A and B are shown apart, each in its own frame.
Chain A
């Protein structure tokens, strides 16, 4: 049935619409110029805020380490359960919700597309199994390449084209969407309990440096014309003084593009620490944002801290071990043959902790000091810096200085003096907030049919019961915080899937993946080469490694603009 959303206060920055009262028409899951009102379901959005559905560029929602996070913490679920409903399966919440609950909670917040940012290649079948059970939202997963032995060997010999063929086959075979790099070289070193110290520190036994890995994979990404840039978790993440590594990393690919971003530095907060040790750690947001403001080849997401009990999880095995040693909390380590690693540690961010509260200021400083909201996207690196259900808190900190001042009152006494946040007067407009949470992630991911409400876009729409012409975001930020937690309507593919916090339909989102443009000849010569070493590197057969498209409940292949 057609849908007509009438008289809403619409924010659609891509199409130059910023708070205009207008109607949005939907036909067959897509936004269209108009529909016949008498034959359409009409939603009266008078005095309501209408925007595209939220797009999350980085959120750990599915796959082996996410599931270990669930397994590790029954105490995290026990107080937060979802009862089976008319259209919903039951589940549990906490910092790592079960799959069904994840889909429903995103939908309730008006989010309609979420990217799982790190799947260990050999366990990607597991990631898809979970994504299939994550309802409503569209989704995709990034494949980890930064510690992959085949990639190391190609890049060491500077065989960029061959590496590109390999990456292209992997992404196609595993139904992935983008190249993910986590602590390049460092996780391989962690196979021996070690790490790398910077981008020029060679990887033990492989004679390749993180610099060569990052540059090489950026070239591969460009050759393949993948829809997203290389998605990078930097070396030295989470260590005092690491902003130098971050600057080195951004500089090392400066010559590879002068227009579109070729590298996405994810959860940048964790990579923006000044200082020599934890006692004198401060924010490097000024240095990082200064660099970003002057360059165009990088995009970022925040990795904003939420003061809460959460569960950290990353492919950066050595980092999780450090967190375990710092916190004394239980620790899971998950090394993956020939490819990557991982770890899980519960962690509570406390406002009274000096380091935690400095971290909290860094994320917000980055978002406020980077002039262009198209360059920095909202994230908590869910659940690492905090659970995604807390995004509305971040939104209110961004749109209101009062909200920030209020929270600054609760943090460690040293923090306000040592931070830049107190001096920042900028308050993001609602249009800028829509850019950070919808438009910019869609653009960075090459999702041309998302992040806007023009004709031809996917009918993924969030409607919030608040009138921005009457409610001042700066002063009445609490109202926005409350409203953003529960969309009045969430529309996915033209279907009303959530209404005031109730899930109103059974709906499956699509799994997006990038189809390889490799020729049959290129594919068979690649496989001949792989086969020689696969048996030595792995404990599974090459033929059992790829995942059939039929394993995805709702598959949406996207062609790569391959230049191979």
Chain B
């Protein structure tokens, strides 16, 4: 029995992208992982349960197992024939795969969109209106004395966020838990709220009102109502005073703020509040990005096309208009006539009407998981797990890039997303000649 130990492994689960994991491998199998949270550990130990390694295509008499070359050929034919294909997903794969995906989308004149479209897309649209005062997570660890989680429950979503980057972290200028104040603003008393110093329970769908009241108070103007969004006037002034009097404050916001009533308008207001706070003290803000490389998808899309998601190549050049060129809108309008889904499961997660459109047209899925989308696909190509079975690059929620590593061999014949996409691109170019 040979035991190998790999240090400093980057965890391909959430946007925290913890890079201090230690993996213990015995005879080519992961037997233990140290330092990971329960999500990371579960992924490393159980990733190969319930997976398929054989490409499948929908034939006349049901689904047939085929070799990779046949599946790639079928996928390429579908894409070349399509007038307006949609290439969606991308947040659970490497930047290298995203690069090939963009080239493929350009080659076939399709729309490419990533899962930001249905999570922090409105946060990005707000950034494009207001800007954003932000930083890397190490700045928080070193300096922050006021940490606010708003509409976010990291103890259940980004489990090591608190211990690595905020209240549990030992930084240069903040050594102890007592050096920092933690505030949670949420519609319910979450696990995270229970470890906070202050918890403000806001009424559902009224974050915008609360932020507006805070901005008024910050500008020394009178909040006229006795109660706003479920908070008393005193609580609002206490909160704003806490913000103004800290030396270094930060707001981490989650989908509770981005996807509640108001969406990008909520984030507009939050970004403006943080910007205005910089007239009084140092204040920063950061979205709690979910999937391990969704931040990378935005970054790669932007450097190649100028736009972070919802990029339409049908004109021969990148065109961006979220609400028009975003995945769900295209599906609901019935415009898209074929889809390629990479590292995502939209058939399971999109609104029912959009899912129906996905499956009623030719559907290609590249994913290591046996997802609902893979089950429904006309061509399903299983790939290997990036960050476990193949290497690549991913961007943390604060857009620090980190190297994902290969620590075990993939099953025989199971290629990476990059290799599969490159084969499809190559075949598409042959067919177009």
Listed residue (A62, A100, A338) with the most chain B CB atoms within 10 angstroms of its CB: A338
Given the interface pairs A537-B172, A540-B400, A540-B402, the reply to whether A332 lies near B138 with Cβ below 8 Å is no
A457 to chain B, nearest CB (A): 31
Pick from B65-73, B127-135, B180-188, B361-369 the stretch touching chain A.
B127-135
Asked whether B298 lies within 8 Å of A541 as measured between CB atoms, the reply is no
**In chain A between 94 and 122, which residues have their CB closer than 8 angstroms to a CB of chain B?**
94, 96-100, 122
Q: A70-B303, A92-B317 are in contact. List 12 more A-B contacts (CB 8 A).
A: A74-B128, A81-B315, A81-B318, A83-B315, A84-B106, A98-B306, A125-B401, A129-B393, A337-B135, A536-B172, A537-B172, A538-B138
Quick check: is A527 within 8 A (CB to CB) of the other chain?
Answer: no
Chain A: which residue is nearest B280 at the CB level?
Answer: A193
Do A74 and B304 touch across chains, with their CB atoms under 8 A apart? no
A343 to chain B, nearest CB (A): 9
Contact B127 A72 (CB under 8 A): yes
With A89-B106, A98-B304 known as contacts, the answer to whether A337 contacts B139 (CB < 8 A) is yes
Question: Are A133 and B139 within 8 A (Cβ)?
Answer: no
Q: Given that A333-B134, A337-B138, A541-B20 are contacting pairs, would A125 and B393 also be in contact in the complex, using a CB cutoff of 8 Å?
A: yes
* A222: Cβ under 8 A from any B Cβ: no
6 A-B residue pairs with CB within 8 Å: A84-B317, A90-B317, A126-B401, A191-B248, A335-B284, A539-B164
Whether B138 contacts A543 by the Cβ 8 Å rule is: no
Q: Are A83 and B316 in contact (CB under 8 A)?
A: yes
Query: What is the CA–CA distance of A82 and B313 in the complex, to the nearest angstrom?
Result: 11
Given the complex of chains A and B, what is the CA–CA distance between A64 and B400 in angstroms?
9
B247–A92 touching, CB < 8 Å: no
Q: Chain A: which residue is nearest B395 at the CB level?
A: A126
0/1 per residue, B270-298, Cβ < 8 Å to A? 00000100100110100000000000001
Q: Give A293-337 as 1s and 0s: 1 = Cβ < 8 Å from B's Cβ atoms.
A: 000000000000000000000000000010010000011111111
B210-237 residues at the A interface, CB under 8 angstroms? none
Complex CA gap A335/B135 in Å reads 4
Interface residues of B in 25-68 (CB under 8 A from A): none
Is residue B389 within 8 Å, beta carbon to beta carbon, of the partner chain?
no
Known: A539-B137, A541-B19. A321 touches B278 (CB 8 A): yes
Q: Which positions 159-193 of chain B face chain A at CB distance < 8 Å?
A: 164-165, 169-173
Chain A 509-564 residues near chain B, CB threshold 8 A: 536-541, 543-544
* B307 partner, pick from A77, A336, A541, beta carbons under 8 A: A77
Q: Does A172 contact B (CB under 8 A)?
A: no
Q: Quick one: which of B305-332 are within 8 Å of A by CB?
A: 305-308, 313, 315-320
CB pair B138 A92 closer than 8 Å: no
Q: In the complex, are the beta carbons of A72 and B128 less than 8 A apart?
A: yes
CB distance from A440 to the nearest CB of B (A): 30
Give A90's nearest chain B residue, CB to CB: B317
Nearest CB of B to A313, in Å: 12
Which residues of B have CB within 8 Å of A193? 278, 281-282
Q: Which residues of B contact A78 (CB under 8 A)?
A: 320
A70–B141 contact, CB under 8 A? no
Contact B131 A540 (CB under 8 A): no
Q: Is the CB of B247 within 8 A of A331?
A: no
Interchain CB contact under 8 A, B403 and A544? yes
* Chain B 127-155 interface 0/1 with A at a Cβ cutoff of 8 Å (1 = within): 11111111111110111000000000000
User: Can you list the 8 inter-chain pairs with the closest CB atoms, starting with the nearest?
Assistant: A337-B138, A92-B306, A335-B135, A330-B131, A81-B317, A193-B282, A125-B401, A333-B133
Give the distance in Å from the alpha carbon of A336 to the alpha carbon of B139 in the complex.
7
B8 within 8 Å of A (CB atoms): yes
Q: Closest CB-CB distance, A149 to chain B, in whole Å?
A: 8
Answer whether residue A15 sits at the interface, using C-beta atoms and an 8 A cutoff: no
**Are the C-beta atoms of B129 and A330 separated by less than 8 Å?**
yes
CB-based contact A333/B7 at 8 Å = no
Query: A191 contacts B403, CB within 8 Å?
Result: no
Digitize A47-86: 1 where CB-to-B-CB distance is under 8 Å, 0 elsewhere. 0000000000000001010010011111001100111100
Residue-wise, chain B 244-288 has the 8 Å CB interface mask toward A (1 for contact) of: 000110000000000000000000000000010010011010000
- Given A205-B173, A539-B164, verify A100-B304 contact (CB < 8 Å): yes
A91 at the binding interface (Cβ < 8 Å): yes
**Could you give, for residues 1-34 of chain B, a 1 whenever the CB lies within 8 Å of some chain A CB and a 0 otherwise?**
0000001101000000001100000000000000
Contact residues in A for B77 (Cβ distance below 8 Å): none
B341 proximal to A (CB < 8 A): no
User: Taking A71-B127, A129-B303, A330-B129 as contacts, is the C-beta distance between A90 and B318 under 8 angstroms?
Assistant: yes
Query: Of all chain A residues, which has the CB nearest B247?
Result: A192
Residues of A within 8 A of B298 (CB): 71
Q: Report B's interface with A, CB cutoff 8 A.
A: 7-8, 10, 19-20, 95, 99, 103, 106, 124, 127-139, 141-143, 164-165, 169-173, 247-248, 275, 278, 281-282, 284, 298-300, 302-308, 313, 315-320, 393, 395, 399-403
Choose from A133, A344, A543 the contact partner of B304 (Cβ within 8 Å): A133
**Per a CB cutoff under 8 Å, which of A67, A149, A337 touches B302?**
A67
Q: Is A352 an interface residue (CB 8 A)?
A: no
A84 to B109, CA, bound (A): 10
Smallest beta-carbon distance B87→chain A, Å: 15
A130 in the interface (beta carbon within 8 A):
yes
Give CA–CA (A323, B235) in the complex, Å. 34
CB-nearest residue of chain A relative to B17? A540
- What is the bound-complex CA distance between A74 and B324, given in angstroms? 15
Which residues on the A side are within 8 Å of B131 (C-beta)?
72, 324, 330-333, 344-345
- The answer to whether B278 and A122 have CB atoms under 8 Å apart is no
- Which residues of B lie under 8 Å from residue A536 when comparing CB positions? 170-172
A159 close to B (CB within 8 Å)? no
A475 within 8 Å of B (CB atoms): no
B127 to chain A minimum Cβ distance, whole angstroms, is 7
By beta carbon, the residue of chain B nearest A536 is B172
Q: How far is the CA of A336 from the CA of B282 in the complex (A)?
A: 14
A78 to B311, CA, bound (A): 12
Asked if A426 is an interface residue, CB under 8 A from chain B, the answer is no
B8 close to A337 (CB less than 8 A) = no
Interface centre among B142, B165, B248, B303 (most CB of A within 10 A): B303
A24 to B399, CA, bound (A): 46
Q: Can you name the residue of chain A whose Cβ is closest to the Cβ of B402?
A: A544
Given A71-B124, A331-B275, residue A544 in contact with residue B10 (CB < 8 A)? yes
> Given the complex, which residues of A lie within 8 Å of B130, measured CB to CB?
330
How far is it, in angstroms, between the C-alpha of A321 and the C-alpha of B248 when the chains are bound?
16
Q: Are B400 and A91 in contact (CB under 8 A)?
A: no
Interchain CB contact under 8 A, B8 and A544: yes
Neighbouring B residues of A37 by C-beta, 8 Å: none
Tell yes or no: A123 within 8 A of B by CB.
yes
Chain B residue nearest to A83 (CB atoms) is B316
A336 CA to B173 CA, complexed, in Å: 15
Which of the residues B7, B124, B305, B307 comes within 8 Å of A543, measured between beta carbons?
B7
Q: Is B139 touching A123 in the complex (CB atoms < 8 A)? A: no
Best-surrounded residue of A74, A130, A333 (most CB of chain B within 10 A): A333
* Partner pick for A333 among B95, B132, B142, B315, CB 8 A cutoff: B132
Cβ distance B106 to chain A, nearest Cβ, rounded Å: 6
Which residue of B95, B132, B165, B303 is within 8 Å of A539 (Cβ)? Answer: B165
List, in ascending order, chain B residues with CB within 8 A of A192's CB.
143, 247-248, 282
Tell me if A332 and B139 are in contact (CB < 8 A).
no
Q: B128 to chain A: which residues have CB within 8 Å?
A: 71-74
In the complex, the answer to whether A123 meets B317 with C-beta atoms within 8 Å is no
Assuming A123-B400, A543-B8, is B282 touching A191 (CB within 8 A)?
Answer: yes
Residues of B within 8 A of A133 (CB): 99, 303-304
Residues of B within 8 A of A90 (CB): 106, 305, 313, 316-318
B-chain residues with CB within 8 Å of residue A123 when the two chains form the complex: 399-401
**Can you name the residue of chain A whose Cβ is closest to the Cβ of B20?**
A541
Complex interface: chain B residues within 8 A of A100 (CB): 304
**Which partner residue on chain B sits nearest A540 by CB separation?**
B19
In the complex, which residues of chain A have a beta carbon less than 8 angstroms from the beta carbon of B129? 330
Inter-chain contact B19/A91, CB cutoff 8 Å: no
The reply to whether A98 and B393 form a contact with Cβ atoms under 8 Å apart is no
Smallest Cβ-Cβ distance to B143: which chain A residue: A191
